[in-house]
Amino acid sequence: MKIQPFTGSFTQQEAISDAAIDAAVEVLRTGRLHRYNTHIDEVSHTAKLEREYADYQQSTYCLACASGGYAMSIALQAAGIKPGETVLTNSFTLAPVPGSIVNARGAPVFVEITNDLVLDLEDLQDKIKSTRARFLLLSHMRGHLVDMDRLMDIVKTNDLLLIEDCAHTMGAQWNNRKSGNFGLASCFSTQTYKHLNSGEGGLLTSDDSEFMARAIMLSGSYMLYDRHGAAPASKVFDDIRLDTPNCSGRMDNLRAAILRPQLAQLESNIERWNERYKAIEKRLAKNDAIRLPIRPPAEHYVGSSIQFFIENISATAARDFLIANKQLGVELKWFGDDDPVAFTSNHKSWRYINEQSLPKTDSALSGLFDMRIPLTFSLADCEHIADIIVACAHHR
């Protein structure tokens, strides 16, 4: 049987809706793009987005800022990181995560991951003991949630400050509790490939008023923090406002204007992602050469990308597998490559950090393939793509 190539684009997002375009054009017509450039009594789009995202997330406070990476970096600073202090984080993540730790003058120490792509809780406990770390920046990489009940026991027992990186879990839940509502603070990205798309952008949430007051000052609020949509009361800033540097990284009204209508669509988009994920997963699951990570019933994920393993694949065979898929129009990423490609890299290519031995991670990543699932793909596209992957896995 000759399989037809797939001709869709793995980087094609859905168009910005007319409602969002209209809102953006209106902002452009006023010329008031800066979040604090408002008339008396006018609430900016950025402040409204903060209110709406806090409501969606069910968090007390929300700060809109320049990017997800920036949100992580100021979260660490607002949580009181000291120069050179250890921050534990997942060994399997994307480059902005270690980057944000270094940006906050912290020292990343990587915790191993399991064969199901979540934090290895045994290794976490070992590393808490050996490093005496106070911080855990937990990256829910590619939307895989670790057992949050067990994790929170460890966090509480060891008095860890938990910051969640929810770049891939906006809208996800563990046992009906939203990802991002477990720790001191959580960071979300609205970069083009995430669950909301403003090109670039970030959201930081927390229930801690002093933490949030520091984060708002850090984001570059000057003395205009009372113009925020989901901020602590002004008196919380009294002791904080002169002691916290302004590290400009604000969101602007243009981006907030196009995010607000998208937020209203998020839940229905999550369903659309999951239909597509399941269509692909079902077909891959029938193939013996392919192993899918186990997703526990407590995890309500957002299937905006899919990961699978081909066990014991050599580096040469992995590259050939990528090429075979690519020739049929399917763009996979392989996390086992020593040489970083495009958005994909691993701890071995983050040479600004001390080299760390992570044998479990290396073994998991060596056979790990990853694929985006843009919402522009139809269910038939998803089945077609899965058939191509399976055919390529067969013919190795």
Ligand X SMILES: *Cc1c(COP(=O)(O)O)cnc(C)c1O
Q: Which stretch binds ligand X (CB under 6 A): 12-20, 89-97, 120-128, 150-158?
A: 89-97
The tokens for 12 are: 């094609």
Binder among 38, 57, 114, 139 for ligand X (CB under 6 A): 139
Q: Using CB under 6 A as the criterion, what x/- string covers residues 172-191 for binding ligand X?
A: -----------------x-x
CB 111 within 8 A of CB 90: yes
Neighbours of 33 (CB within 10 A): 17
C-alpha count within 13 angstroms, C-beta hemisphere, residue 158: 24
> How many binding residues for ligand X (CB under 6 A)?
15
Rounded distance between C-alpha atoms, residue 153 and residue 172, angstroms? 20
Binder among 47, 75, 167, 279 for ligand X (CB under 6 A): 167
Q: Between 370 and 383, whose beta carbon lies closer to ligand X?
A: 370
Assess 252 for contact with ligand X (CB under 6 A). Answer: no
Q: Which stretch binds ligand X (CB under 6 A): 6-14, 119-127, 160-168, 367-375?
A: 160-168
CB of 42 to ligand X, least distance (A): 28
Q: Between 54 and 137, whose beta carbon lies closer to ligand X?
A: 137
Rounded distance between C-alpha atoms, residue 331 and residue 10, angstroms? 7
Instruction: Please choose, from the candidates 219, 236, 224, 197, the residue with its C-alpha nearest in 3D space to the C-alpha of residue 60.
Output: 236
Which residues in the 58-77 window bind ligand X by CB under 6 A? 67-69
End-to-end CA distance of the chain: 16
Assess 345 for contact with ligand X (CB under 6 A). Answer: no
Assess 93 for contact with ligand X (CB under 6 A). Answer: yes
Rounded distance between C-alpha atoms, residue 342 and residue 305, angstroms? 16
Give Cα 29 distance to the centre of its chain.
Answer: 33
CB of 195 to ligand X, least distance (A): 11
CB of 170 to ligand X, least distance (A): 11
CB of 299 to ligand X, least distance (A): 17
Instruction: Please choose, from the candidates 233, 303, 225, 207, the residue with its C-alpha nearest in 3D space to the C-alpha of residue 35.
Output: 225
Binder among 165, 252, 299, 337 for ligand X (CB under 6 A): 165
Instruction: Please choose, from the candidates 83, 137, 81, 82, the residue with its C-alpha nearest in 3D space to the C-alpha of residue 109.
Output: 137
Binder among 23, 94, 270, 302 for ligand X (CB under 6 A): 94
Q: Between 165 and 252, whose beta carbon lies closer to ligand X?
A: 165
Binder among 96, 143, 220, 367 for ligand X (CB under 6 A): 96
Assess 117 for contact with ligand X (CB under 6 A). Answer: no
Binder among 62, 64, 65, 97 for ligand X (CB under 6 A): 97
Instruction: Please choose, from the candidates 225, 220, 211, the residue with its C-alpha nearest in 3D space to the C-alpha of residue 135.
Output: 211
Binder among 202, 336, 367, 374 for ligand X (CB under 6 A): 202
Strands in 86-90's sheet, in edge-to-edge order, are 61-65, 202-206, 185-189, 161-165, 135-139, 86-90, 107-111
CB of 314 to ligand X, least distance (A): 27
Neighbours of 121 (CB within 10 A): 17
Give Dmax over CA atoms of the chain in angstroms.
Answer: 72
CB of 185 to ligand X, least distance (A): 14
Summarize as ranges the residues that interact with ligand X (CB under 6 A): 67-69, 93-94, 96-97, 139, 141, 165, 167-168, 189, 191, 202
